Structure 1
Amino acid sequence: MNFLQTLKKPMVSVAVVCVLLACIVTLQNMLLPPKTYVDGGMEYTHYNNYLIFKQSFFHLIENKDLYQQYPQEYWDLYKYSPTFSLFMGLLAWMPDFLGLLIWNLLNVLVLFFAFWKLPFENNRKTLFALLFLVLELLTSIQNSQSNGLIAGLILFAYLQLERGKVELAVLCVVLTMFIKLFGVCAFVLFLCYPGKIRAFLYALGWTVLLAALPLLVISYEQMQRVYKSWILLLQNDPPNADGWVGTWFGMEAQTTMLLGGSILFCLPLIRYKHFREKKFKLLLLASTLIWIVIFNHKAESPTYIIAVCGVAIWYFTQNFKLENTILLLLVFMFTVVASTDLFPGKWQENVIIPFALKPLSCVLVWLKITWDLLSYPNFPACEKT
């Protein structure tokens, strides 16, 4: 009876659902037949991204170049840091099913527990916010991606800052950087808290320590070669042609739009007098989570779980406003649902993808958040806290 009563608790119930989803997706990926990524190409598993991460560890300890094509093992390139490949050694020795299951659970549960700890008004709002994430989280873990983990780490950084644990907050952000570099943008949150010099020193220390970790398994000379290869890959990694900037303004507008987006992102920082107010910090957190996706030139569909987290935080930490609800529904329809099998395939091929509607609704929300930050606290949804 005690066990059944425990299951009735909202947090436990949602956690159980998250675990079941990770297990089902893992089993699905293991059972689905191989697929090709180009017509007439080699066949690969449905958990190809996990194999990229896993094999990078073996390439690291075998002194191979992590950033070359290995078509006999997986499709595409490994693009994360050498440190991340070392961490994947914790799973690489396991059978694929077990390693993939733990990887998916890590992405789901880190995000879930961080999200549950956010200061929503009540458990009901927390529950609705989590339900809003479910489909997009499924899209991410079906692709064996790391985006749930990245979003969770950024949220934990915010939570640790609220507790005054600067060193742990910095560690969370630095860890995201060693997965995907855009995590560095989360350091903007530290402007709202005391101890900025201490945070900088911790950031420097954690970065050096994590960057040097591959020395546990490779020589200093090999580590230099690996990092040079990684930097070269990042420098020559072309933007996605089907992103919203390229679709709507042309590829030549990438730099201009990034500059303009960066200025708009930083503009609310002039409201520094409100840095200590919880509502303002939550809006800034939401803005950051969306910005690092919509202005990321390599963002793919599974990356949008990070942006959708920002949308959920923005909406469910405010009072009801009709315009906000309309924007939320647009995100749910065109960002969340439109990339799933629930949406007609012809609509995806002929409307959603060609017109870049998946990111567009998030862009509209981000512009609204920017306006909310600039007009803070003069809009009704933000009482001072």
Structure 2
Amino acid sequence: MTKIYKLFTNHLFITILWFGLSLFAIIKMATAHNINNYHIYTSTFINLRNHVNLFVLHPLQHNDVNLYGPIFAVMMAPFTLLPEGVGVVLWVMLNAFLLYRAITMLPLKKEQCYAVLLICAHELMTASYGEQINPMLTSFIVFSFIFIRSGKEFWAAFFIVAGTMIKLYGIVGLAFFFFTDNKLKFILSFLFWMAVLFVLPMPFSSPHFVVQCYTDWFNALTNKNAHNEISTMQDICVMGMIRRVFNYPQLNNLVVLVPGLLLFGLAYLRFKAFGNTHFQLLILASTLIFTVIFSTGSESPTYIIAFVGVGVWFMNLDRPVKPFEIFLLIFALLITSLSPSDLFPQVINRQYIKPYSFKALPCFVIWLKIVYETLWRKFEPKALATK
């Protein structure tokens, strides 16, 4: 047991595991020529240049469509120059590196940061199988938290705006606004990056087409939201659980979302705790989990966002950790992270977890626990020492 403990607390081993699992996943998918998402991603830049609607089905997209904003097309431009096999591997490893870097910059002890990586490694692998951008978007949210705390509002605003203009999820970085001492600088930086990133795709296409892209994007997201509620691949969220467990497909999302927002917002009544690192990390964890469990667009690979929140929450707990808290982590590892994999009994996954969106359940329970902590945990008014 001592050797196993040393192995799973070894920084080099965890780093190799983090990148190795993602590398294995994408090589497996690339050799099977099953990289449809990557085809969609690279086609966005080609369509942008050719003034072709970015959000409708195209021949190279194999019955799926792009749902990311025009700035994403520009970001994918360098990958269109690379051989497909090389490009998709670099894309996945870039996502893994950005999230690795973000997690290791968190205001936690180094050992705790590596523990978060270990907790999230399998969930990252799930995202890597689908060449997903979600690890990068997670890193953007975490970077916005880190830079706001360190007084680098200019770069915090960049990551919030970039994440928002790629997949809307990035807007949740505004949850950290109250942690900055220079709110005017942040607001001005936010407006600056909104203008820059709005204009950036235009030289590759035309101003008129880029403006039209945003209208097309809104329509595509609206249509996708309606489809999510009848798809077993999406709607893996609290609303999806209620719809499926109680056979109530007509559930209005706002009935669940509004109380969720109110619970989330209650933490901001504790303004005297804003400068405390433990409180700030709880808000980060709450934000990451909330973004996923209250979104009808959530699918299995999206949960890398929520699972980073789970890891941050667990490492931020008061020591010694209570048995119930350990149970919640194991519950999340089994049901949320491992259930889609071959390591979990697939008959249970197919008959119960997937049909009823139970992948969201552990994260929802942990999020409620985080809400409780933000309201009742004792925090010192001054911030703790940070890295």
How far is 1:14 from its partner? 3.5
Equivalence for 1:5: none
How far is 1:197 from its partner? 2.1
Larger deviation: 239-248 or 58-67? 239-248
Paired residues of 2:17 and 2:121 also in contact (CA < 8 A): no
Structure-to-structure mapping, 1:188-267, within 5 angstroms? 188-237=175-224, 238=226, 239-241=228-230, 242=232, 243=235, 244-249=238-243, 250-251=248-249, 252-267=251-266
Structure 1 residues 333 and 23, CA gap change in structure 2 (3 angstroms):
closer
Cα distance in 2 for partners of 1:52, 1:83 equals: 14
Equivalence for 2:51: 63
Equivalence for 1:340: 341
How far is 1:200 from its partner? 1.4
TM-score, normalization by structure 1: 0.89
How far is 1:311 from its partner? 0.5
Q: CA RMSD in A?
A: 2.0
Cα distance in 1 for partners of 2:196, 2:21 equals: 35
User: In structure 1, what residue type is equivalent to 2:377?
Assistant: Y
How far is 1:383 from its partner? 11
How many residues in Structure 1 have an aligned counterpart in Structure 2?
362
Deviation readout 1:81-106 (Å, 9 max, x if unpaired): 01111110011121111111111011
How far is 1:61 from its partner? 0.5
Secondary structure of 2:339's aligned partner: helix
Say if 2:90 is the partner of 1:90. no
Cα distance in 2 for partners of 1:351, 1:294 equals: 18
User: In structure 2, what residue type is equivalent to 1:99?
Assistant: G
4+ residue segments displaced more than 4 Å: 9-13
Deviation readout 1:245-291 (Å, 9 max, x if unpaired): 13314342312111111111111111111101110000000000000
Structure 1 residues 17 and 343, CA gap change in structure 2 (3 angstroms):
closer
Paired residues of 1:193 and 1:276 also in contact (CA < 8 A): no
Deviation readout 1:175-216 (Å, 9 max, x if unpaired): 111221021011111212211222112111101210111111
Paired residues of 1:311 and 1:365 also in contact (CA < 8 A): yes
Secondary structure of 1:340's aligned partner: coil
User: In structure 2, what residue type is equivalent to 1:294?
Assistant: I
Residue among 175, 178, 188 paired with 2:162: 175
How far is 1:11 from its partner? 4.6
Paired residues of 2:120 and 2:308 also in contact (CA < 8 A): yes
Structure-to-structure mapping, 1:273-288, within 5 angstroms? 273-288=272-287
Structure-to-structure mapping, 1:17-36, within 5 angstroms? 17-32=17-32
Say if 2:110 is the partner of 1:158. no
Secondary structure of 1:346's aligned partner: helix
Structure 1 residues 217 and 338, CA gap change in structure 2 (3 angstroms):
same
Paired residues of 1:30 and 1:97 also in contact (CA < 8 A): yes
Secondary structure of 2:337's aligned partner: helix
Paired residues of 1:193 and 1:275 also in contact (CA < 8 A): no
Larger deviation: 20-29 or 330-339? 20-29
Cα distance in 1 for partners of 2:186, 2:47 equals: 34
User: In structure 2, what residue type is equivalent to 1:246?
Assistant: G
User: In structure 1, what residue type is equivalent to 2:81?
Assistant: W
Paired residues of 1:48 and 1:75 also in contact (CA < 8 A): no
For structure 1, the residue ranges without an aligned partner over 5 or more in a row are: 1-8, 33-44
Paired residues of 1:246 and 1:254 also in contact (CA < 8 A): no
User: In structure 1, what residue type is equivalent to 2:26?
Assistant: T
Paired residues of 2:18 and 2:118 also in contact (CA < 8 A): no
For structure 2, the residue ranges without an aligned partner over 5 or more in a row are: 1-8
Secondary structure of 1:236's aligned partner: helix
How far is 1:12 from its partner? 4.9
TM-score, normalization by structure 2: 0.89
